[in-house]
Amino acid sequence: MPPPLSSLPQTTELNLAGNYLHRLPEEVTSLLHLRAINLSRNRFRRFPEPLATVATLETIDLEENEIAEVPVEKLASMASLRSLNLRANPVGPEVRLLVRPLVPFDLLLSPEEPVPKA
């Protein structure tokens, strides 16, 4: 059994891919040096909002989940974020239109559904 996340405060990268998670362990917010998190191939239906409180996050991979909505305002306030992968999620066209002009990072979406230009 791995140790609780809170006992690993110096963690900079965390891979929780393919674990059928539908909510984020609250302990992730205690990882003050976390730069990258891979949450691909899970069961998230919403963007895990506690991630917005991790000020050091640069890369979030949420590919192949069930996310249809994203908290645009919270994403726009994540100053360190450089890349958000939402490929293979049912993100609607209205979200794409709202997100593009507000986010200062690379937004990766499924190629069959390009991001409209603002």
Band (pLDDT 50/70/90 cuts) for residue 5 is confident
Rounded CA-CA distance 5/100 in Å is 33
pLDDT tens across 86-117, in order? 999 998 766 666 666 656 677 777 765 555 55
- Neighbouring residues of 1: CB distance < 8 A, sequence distance ≥ 6: none
Would you call 105 helix, strand, or coil by DSSP? coil
Angle of CA points 41, 3, 38, to nearest 5°: 25
- The pLDDT tens digits of the residues spanning 34-51 come to 999 999 999 999 999 999
What phi-psi label fits residue 84: left (phi over 0), alpha (psi between -120 and 50 degrees) or beta? beta
Q: What is the pTM assigned to this prediction?
A: 0.84
> Can you name the CATH fold of 5-108?
3.80.10
